Amino acid sequence: MKIAAAALLLAASANGFTAPRVHNSRTTTSLSVSQADLDGAQGMIDEILKTKNCGPVMVRLAWHDSGTHDCSITEEWPASGGAIGSIRFDPEINHGANAGLAGAVKILEPVKEKYPGVSYADIFQMASARGIELAGGPKIDMKYGRVDATGPEQCSPEGNLPDAEAGPEGKFGGAGGTASTEDESAAGHLRKVFHRMGLDDEAIVALSGAHTFGRAYADRSGLGAEKTKFTDGSATKLSDGSETTSYTPGGSPWVENWLVFDNSYFTTITDESTDEELLKLTSDKCLWDDEKFAPFATKFADKDAFFESYAKAHKALSELGSKFEDIE
């Protein structure tokens, strides 16, 4: 999965969400950003998303940037990682979990060129949130003004992102990253990854629901088919009810209408009659098998309940480890 899942600062509490810890200060490491620039950047991003139907990869890009966060690290920013734009640098962009994301950064470069005052971190997170909303998902109460990491020395170590399936030795995760995520069970592994970020079980399940949006590729995550009947270039539905063939064929989706953001993930994974070409990974099925995850997975069969929890979890994920400047 490598955060194709789910894939966060919240307290790891079973009772819900708490406000993420963020840093607020003026700094010389980022240009000042105006609301006019943010509005302009959003307009450009919206056009890119509508033209290229690339929302899913933008979600993955933003999540892989923010998902490196370790809430136990108390050293000066940006030591704890998170939504700081460091994914644009080598070596982070070349971590195994980030295969294919250099292309997403390239797609967004014109936005940075036209609006240099908007940080890469903001651009990545904006593209993710807008991708979800334009695909029919919830409106996310985003905060902007993030400060960018300034160089590769500020990249997080490899190994902080989640796996969807066990490795050759039968274990999920590994000893790399800022803390070991190795576990014999998918549920245990997911908790080690997301609790390290500061997220609770509800957030883990809610964020996993974003699998309703997009595809897995064998040459990126090691999972999925070369193509399926749903991703072979034939028409697929959009959130407004229309159809499009304007996408790059390939990969395996979790749901049939993989360019629509809804709660169909939570009604598809447990349905034994669904098409065999749809993905049902161990990290997906564990959401119903684990006694603490299961109540949320069942609850999110209701779209409104899912959207409410998802919007909170996404906002928290997007602010992990971020330092914010005031918007002018």
Q: Which residues are catalytic?
A: 64
Please count the other Cβ atoms lying within 10 Å of the Cβ belonging to residue 199. 31
Distance of alpha carbon 282 from alpha carbon 284, whole angstroms: 5
- The sign of the dihedral angle between the CA atoms of 313, 41, 34, 71 is positive
Cα–Cα dist 48/123, whole Å: 12
Which letter does DSSP use for residue 34 in this model? -
- Total residue count of the chain as it appears in this document: 328
Beta-bridge partners for 23: 323
Give dist(CA 64, CA 79) in Å, integer: 16
Q: What is the DSSP string of 70-94?
A: -TT--SSTTTT-SSSSGGGSTTGGG
Among 143, 109, 159, 127, CA closest to 56: 127
- Whether the upstream peptide bond of residue 168 has omega within 30° of 0, thus cis, is no
The values of phi and psi at residue 236, to 5°, are -130, 150
Cβ pair 185, 291 in contact under 8 A: no
**Other CB atoms within 10 A of residue 134 CB:** 18
- Give the residue from 204, 194, 183 showing the smallest Cα distance to 310: 204
- Number of Cβ within a 10 Å radius of residue 47: 11
Q: What is the DSSP letter of 24?
A: E
